[in-house]
Amino acid sequence: MKDYTLNKEDERAFILNYEVKDNKIIVNFASGKKYEVPYTEEDEKIILTLMKEQVNNTEKFEKTAKKKLKVMTRWIIYSIVNIVFVATILLTGSSTTPVVQVICGSLFILSGILKSCVLVDIKTKLKDLKKNQLFLDNEDFFKSKEKTNTDALNKEETVRETITLNDIDKMSYNEVKEMVDIARFNDDIGLDFTEVPKAKARVLRK
């Protein structure tokens, strides 16, 4: 998930995602640090619970982000208006201080670009939050349909197919929405739930 924190202090404990590799769980934090622990199913559940809490406690982030969104949008519009105004003066040759006008125009362009980058970042985070909220709203439904398959030829391996909040990290909002819609539709008309896109199955050795 994206970073929903509002300060550097909270970044240190905010989990972005994790990876299960070589019987270890590698947890990635918003601060850029990684934390590695031996894999256990219980620890993975704890990490997922923490990630869910992060998504469910974003009221302050949402309020702040939406407020910034409005401010940035207004500033970009203001910058565009001023850029057009300066360009018009320069093109018509009516400016008595062309150098100053060029400098002002350049500053407005630079400011507009920087504000646009911030705007895109905020929109991306809000979209990611919306995606995660959509998944959690339907998580109980997915859990009711989950399937665990044990390989009869190798009892030391368990293939897990249940999709989790971490599994949708690289999925877009539209992809998650489509997954939910397909699962709900198939369930409504009695089709096999296995047709729903799943996260790549992970083989976990005990």
Tell me the residue range of the domain where 142 lies.
138-206
Hey, what are 63's tokens?
């309020």
Identify whether the C-beta of residue 83 lies closer than 8 Å to the C-beta of residue 144: no
Element (H, E) at 17: strand 15-21
What was the pLDDT predicted at 131?
A: 97
Which of 93, 110, 134 corresponds to the end of one domain?
134
Which of 95, 116, 134 corresponds to the end of one domain?
134
What was the pLDDT predicted at 58?
A: 95
| CA–CA separation, 164 and 143 (whole Å) | 9
pLDDT, mean of each 10-residue run, the chain (206 residues): 94 96 95 95 95 96 93 84 78 69 75 83 96 94 62 43 87 94 84 51 41
Q: How crowded is the C-beta side of 17, counted as CA atoms within 13 Å?
A: 14
Per the structure, the count of domains in the chain is 3
Q: Is 57 helix (H, G, I), strand (E, B) or coil?
A: coil
Q: Are residues 72 and 47 in the same domain?
A: no
Which of 11, 31, 57 corresponds to the end of one domain?
57
Count of beta carbons in the 10 Å neighbourhood of residue 77 = 11
* CA 108 distance to own-chain centroid: 30
Q: Are residues 51 and 86 in the same domain?
A: no
Q: Are residues 128 and 144 in the same domain?
A: no
Task: State the burial class of residue 199 (Cβ atoms within 10 Å of its Cβ: 0-12, 13-18, 19+).
Answer: middle
